[in-house]
Amino acid sequence: MKIVRTALLAATLALPAPLALAHQPSPETVAPQGATAFDRRVAQLVDVINGNMAFDAYFAPSFQAAVPEAQFKAMTASITAQYGRAITVEGAHSADGRSGKLQLRFEKGVATVLLDAGPPPDERVAGLRITGFTMADDSFARVSGDIAALPGVTGFLVAEVDGDALRSIAASHADRQFAIGSAFKLYVLDELAAQIAAGKRRWNDVVPLSHLSFSSAATANWPKDTPVTLQTLANWMISVSDNGAADTLIHLLGRDAIEARMRAAGNSDPSRTIPFLTTVEAFALKGNNFTDLRGKFVAGDDAAQRKLIDGNADRLVLSNVDGVSFTAGPRFIDSLEWFASPDDIARLMIDLRQRGSEPAMAAMAINNGLGPVAAEPWRYLGYKGGSENGVLSMSLLGQRKADGKWFVVTASWNNADANVDTVVFSGLVTRLLALAAK
């Protein structure tokens, strides 16, 4: 239910602080005489990534506050598990001697990195961001094998879009439905665009923010019923996966209408996602406060589930959701979720594109999910991800610069027994997108 982000390592600029090197860098990492702050910190980066230089000796206090050492180590462990150890820096360039871009070569690939050195006297790194990876000698077969090796169940599809037809280029379990988290919001966007095309609504219609929810990056702590436009709600819902915006739109558009749109867009087993739950309803039913309703809901058919939701509308509200339930591992991801296969998502992307709605397409392009390096070969790149404990889904619709052809890249990973690794999965999807760009 959260947005998937791939800004792996980032922090804001910091004030200077004392520097205490943990050890002398090896000779090959020493910057040349007269080097800038950027050059000196770039020269130490391989040691930092490989764990051979102390975290607090390299990073400014502001970075340490934004990305604690344990989190940094977990991120670098995930990166090196997939790409091997860091080997060397290539193509480093800075216009001002303090901030710039470089290529960091690993044993199995190359990362594009943005680095900001802090001010004197210690010039510790205040910003470090890995914006994309390329894998050496990569292929769809290699990525498919790496995805298949993940614990749990996985599926993906890379396909060329030709009108309303799909030409599969690479796929695995593309017809299997997975829990998709917030990727369900694409169905809401599709129905919103359809109602606007039919003249029922306009993008600039002003409506109240009627339903607040958890994990709402845009609307957190906003007053209920704040007036907002439909386009604003759509932008929030897609770009930062705002759950309050999504729930407001579901109530406004109508659950039945979104379900009909889901069927029309070609969902292969719509009953698994009917009734089409709001995020608050899903949170509530997954939580410990509603064990009495959960079993009945899971066991019921569509009609019984709808009757239970409608009959308990006064209970299934944000104030009754048990947030503590979601601090551990996956919760009922096989039975209380929104479901779609990679094939389903690809057909949904076709439906959205053929609707010809510039605002809908623009909403998907606000956050492309994988950063500027991955997006460079694409004239257009729209994205929606979804995540919760045990669930990751990443889906992209792109138009290739080289020839104007359209492609869908979509992948899902479910593990009912343990949380899943966003960094690893983002890297795999980045590789699929890069291969599709060729």
What average pLDDT values come out for the chain (438 residues) when binned by 10 residues? 37 24 35 79 97 96 95 87 90 96 93 94 94 84 96 98 96 98 98 98 98 90 96 98 98 98 98 98 94 96 98 95 82 97 98 97 95 88 96 98 98 97 90 93
The whole domain housing 40 covers 27-135
Cα separation, 350 vs 338, in Å, equals 19
pLDDT reported for residue 373:
75
pLDDT reported for residue 371:
81
Cα separation, 294 vs 188, in Å, equals 24
Cα separation, 250 vs 269, in Å, equals 20
In 3D, which of 5, 8, 36, 4 has the Cα closest to residue 113? 8
Domain count, the chain: 1
Instruction: For residue 159, tell me if it sits in a domain.
Output: no
Instruction: For residue 113, tell me if it sits in a domain.
Output: yes
Cα separation, 239 vs 205, in Å, equals 20
Instruction: For residue 40, tell me if it sits in a domain.
Output: yes
Instruction: For residue 332, tell me if it sits in a domain.
Output: no
CA 305 to chain centre: 30
Two tokens at 91?
């193509």
The kind and range of the H/E element at 112 are strand 109-117
The SS3 call for residue 207 is strand
The strand pairing partners of 384, in sequence order, are 395
In 3D, which of 209, 243, 281 has the Cα closest to residue 1? 243
Instruction: For residue 393, tell me if it sits in a domain.
Output: no
Instruction: For residue 88, tell me if it sits in a domain.
Output: yes
Two tokens at 318?
């944000």
Looking at this protein, which amino acid is placed at residue 338?
W
pLDDT reported for residue 16:
24
Instruction: Give me the residue label for tokens 């292929």.
Output: 139
pLDDT reported for residue 31:
52
In 3D, which of 295, 249, 256 has the Cα closest to residue 274? 256
pLDDT reported for residue 34:
65
Say if CB 11 and CB 128 are below 8 A apart: yes
Contacts of 87 (CB under 8 A, 6+ apart): 46, 105, 106, 107
pLDDT reported for residue 32:
54
Instruction: For residue 90, tell me if it sits in a domain.
Output: yes
Instruction: For residue 60, tell me if it sits in a domain.
Output: yes
